[in-house]
Amino acid sequence: MNKVIAENTTATLTSDFKEITKMRLAVSVVFSSVAGYFLGAEVVDFVTVLLLAVGGYLMVGASNAFNQVIEKDLDALMNRTKNRPIPSGRMSVFKALIIAILFTIIGVGVLYVINPITAVFGAISIILYVALYTPLKTKTPLSVFVGAFPGAIPFMLGWVAATNDFSIEPGTLFMIQFFWQFPHFWALGWWLYDDYERGGFFMLPTGKRDRGTAIQIILYTIWTIIISLVPATGQTGSLFLTPVSAVLILLLGLLMLKYAIQLYKKRDEKTAKQLMFASVTYITLLQIIYVLDKFIRTWI
């Protein structure tokens, strides 16, 4: 009996840890950072890769823990968040704060071991996410614009970790992920509009699931595709993309654009959900293509 209770307790603690740090989101951020590192590194140092992965996870986990402390009362109002550790009562605010603070300190320290610039950008991402993006979510749709800054840092952060330098290459990676976030989060906001409305969050640019929002989603999707293809022009320093890879990314972009146009036509939750998943597929495969493109060119 005691063994069963212990196992259930352990399972609950593990589940709560995943929830408070938003493990799936954190892993996707780590993936972006590691992809950026592989793009910037002349010689891959797997110790640095490990430090980047650990530091990146801790920084994202800290941001999410702080976020859930601040939004605990609002989370209790929404179906998708009411079972999170704090609003459900399984974790106290004090424990969540301890996790957030420890993760921040350790995360910045781990990134500092890589180099100081990486640590600075990591710290900036937490500050922007917690101090600006989180409180603005209930006040203005511009919160998505503000949140796009910390959200765009991971892809760029990997390059900085590899080179100890910020220049046009990591700047380009930043811009790709920056513009991508608008169609991604607006599609999410459209899909979960009713739930966000219960929590008092303003996620859509016009505040409504209307023609204006759909048009902006299409425009930002087009901008995302264009910026993703800029490295193929040879104007972004050592960040380069071959014509074959550029075509693959263009095709992925057109697929995402197809769903954006369908959302404009149908304006329903199902299409918004499809666009959201298409955007995740786009950024994930884009990063894989960028990395493979570099190493295939190196091997050839």
Please report the pLDDT score of residue 11 as a whole number: 63
Please report the pLDDT score of residue 16 as a whole number: 87
Number of domains in the chain: 2
298 and 223 in one domain?
A: yes
3-class SS string, 218-233: HHHHHHHHHHHHHHHH
Mention every residue, 6+ apart, whose C-beta is less than 8 A from residue 13: none
148 and 28 in one domain?
A: yes
Find, among 97, 110, 105, the residue nearest to 54 by Cα.
110
pLDDT, average across residues 216-233? 97
100 and 116 in one domain?
A: yes
In percent, the amount of the chain with pLDDT more than 90 equals 89
229 and 298 in one domain?
A: yes
Reported confidence tier of residue 12, pLDDT bands at 50, 70, 90: confident
46 and 108 in one domain?
A: yes
Please report the pLDDT score of residue 184 as a whole number: 97
- Write the CATH number for 6: 1.10.357.140
pLDDT, average across residues 72-100? 93
Q: Is the pLDDT of residue 9 over 70?
A: no
Burial class (CB in 10 A: 0-12, 13-18, 19+), 20: buried
Reported confidence tier of residue 202, pLDDT bands at 50, 70, 90: confident
* Spatial distance between the Cα atoms of 227 and 176, rounded to a whole number of angstroms: 6
Find out whether 29 and 60 touch, Cβ atoms under 8 Å. yes
115 and 44 in one domain?
A: yes
pLDDT, average across residues 218-229? 98
pLDDT, average across residues 221-237? 96
Final residue of a structural domain among 165, 196, 231: 165
Final residue of a structural domain among 130, 165, 200: 165
Q: Is the pLDDT of residue 6 over 50?
A: no
Find, among 162, 129, 177, 153, the residue nearest to 52 by Cα.
162
* Average pLDDT value for the chain: 93
Residues 253-299: tens digit of each pLDDT: 999 999 999 999 999 999 999 999 999 999 999 999 999 999 988 78
Please report the pLDDT score of residue 4 as a whole number: 47
Find, among 89, 84, 81, 90, the residue nearest to 8 by Cα.
90
* Spatial distance between the Cα atoms of 132 and 104, rounded to a whole number of angstroms: 17
115 and 72 in one domain?
A: yes
187 and 147 in one domain?
A: no
Please report the pLDDT score of residue 18 as a whole number: 87
Place of tokens 């995302």: 224
6 and 94 in one domain?
A: yes
pTM of the model: 0.92
156 and 33 in one domain?
A: yes
Find, among 293, 289, 35, the residue nearest to 157 by Cα.
35
Least-confidence region, from 3-17, 126-140, 168-182: 3-17
133 and 103 in one domain?
A: yes
Q: The domain containing residue 46 runs over which residues?
A: 1-165
Reported confidence tier of residue 2, pLDDT bands at 50, 70, 90: low
Please report the pLDDT score of residue 69 as a whole number: 95
* Cα-based angle 10, 75, 130 (whole degrees, multiple of 5): 90
Residues 23-35: tens digit of each pLDDT: 999 999 999 999 9
Please report the pLDDT score of residue 238 as a whole number: 94
* Spatial distance between the Cα atoms of 140 and 154, rounded to a whole number of angstroms: 25
Final residue of a structural domain among 109, 138, 165: 165
161 and 28 in one domain?
A: yes
